[in-house]
């Protein structure tokens, strides 16, 4: 299975492609970062990124597009621009007739490092180790994109990504106590469960104060 991970960002959008095989085997294929500058009109910046996503999809013909799932942050301006790029990536997947998977940042960090709160440096080093690269992928956006692809390769099961999203509202949650899970998988389950619980609490608070 070939997977392209997309780490959405308006200034830098990372795109990493891997091949996933049996026994958790993943192999590096390609990585790039699409860039735009703040002095450009927003729609032109999105066009540059959209063109590069389309180019990578056409070049590598992936089976799945894995995109970072957005959550609210303190920096509203940043999350809005990031969400715009995520929408561009999802639209590209739809137009290409590809499956789409969404993974939260904590899920990705836990999947590749075993720690849902890992720093970007730790993610870079683990991606280098997992993919047997000569050096850590740079910038961090490139490593994050490859980490997204790795996360999807390792959490994929009999269900398709779209079926998982439909069943779990965007992310499949394994049982953290299930026998056979690795320490990293258990850490991912705990991190993702905590993220979803925070979302439920936030939604409950929003309803309470309407």
The one catalytic residue among 52, 141, 144, 192:
141
Question: Is 7 assigned a catalytic role?
Answer: yes
- Tell me whether residue 30 is annotated as binding: no
Name every residue whose Cβ is closer than 8 Å to that of residue 70 and which is 6 or more positions away in sequence: 8, 79, 82, 83, 86
7 is in an annotated binding site: yes
CA neighbor of 139 nearest in space, from 119, 118, 120: 120
Q: Is 179 annotated as a binding residue?
A: no
Neighbours of 46 (CB within 10 A): 19
How far apart, in whole angstroms, are the C-alpha atoms of residue 145 and residue 75? 21
Active-site residue flag, 144? no
Q: In the annotation, is 54 catalytic?
A: no
Q: Which of 52, 68, 107, 192 is catalytic?
A: 68
**Residue spans of alpha helices (H) in the chain:** 42-60, 76-95, 105-113, 120-131, 140-155, 161-168, 183-208
Rounded-to-10 torsion of CA 165, 187, 23, 152? 30
Cα–Cα distance for residue pair 161/11, rounded to 1 Å: 28
Annotated binding site: 7, 68, 141
Q: Which residues are catalytic?
A: 7, 68, 141
């Amino acid at each position: 299975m070939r997977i392209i991970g997309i780490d959405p960002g308006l200034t830098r959008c990372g795109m990493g492609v891997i091949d996933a095989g049996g026994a958790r085997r993943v192999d590096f294929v390609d990585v790039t970062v699409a860039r735009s500058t703040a002095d450009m009109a927003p729609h032109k910046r999105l066009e540059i990124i959209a063109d590069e996503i389309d180019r990578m999809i056409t070049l590598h013909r992936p089976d799945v597009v894995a995109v970072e799932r957005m959550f609210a942050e303190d920096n509203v301006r940043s999350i809005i621009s990031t969400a715009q790029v995520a929408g561009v990536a999802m639209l590209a997947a739809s137009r290409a007739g590809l499956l789409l998977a969404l993974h939260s940042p904590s899920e990705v960090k836990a999947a590749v490092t075993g720690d849902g709160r890992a720093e970007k440096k730790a993610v870079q080093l683990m991606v280098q180790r997992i993919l047997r690269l000569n050096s850590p992928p740079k910038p961090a956006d490139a490593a994050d994109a490859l980490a997204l692809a790795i996360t999807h390769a390792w959490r994929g099961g009999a269900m398709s990504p779209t079926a998982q999203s439909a069943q779990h509202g965007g992310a499949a949650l394994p049982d953290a106590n299930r026998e056979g899970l690795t320490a990293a998988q258990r850490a991912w389950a705990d991190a993702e469960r905590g993220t979803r619980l925070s979302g439920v609490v936030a939604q409950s608070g929003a309803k309470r104060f309407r």
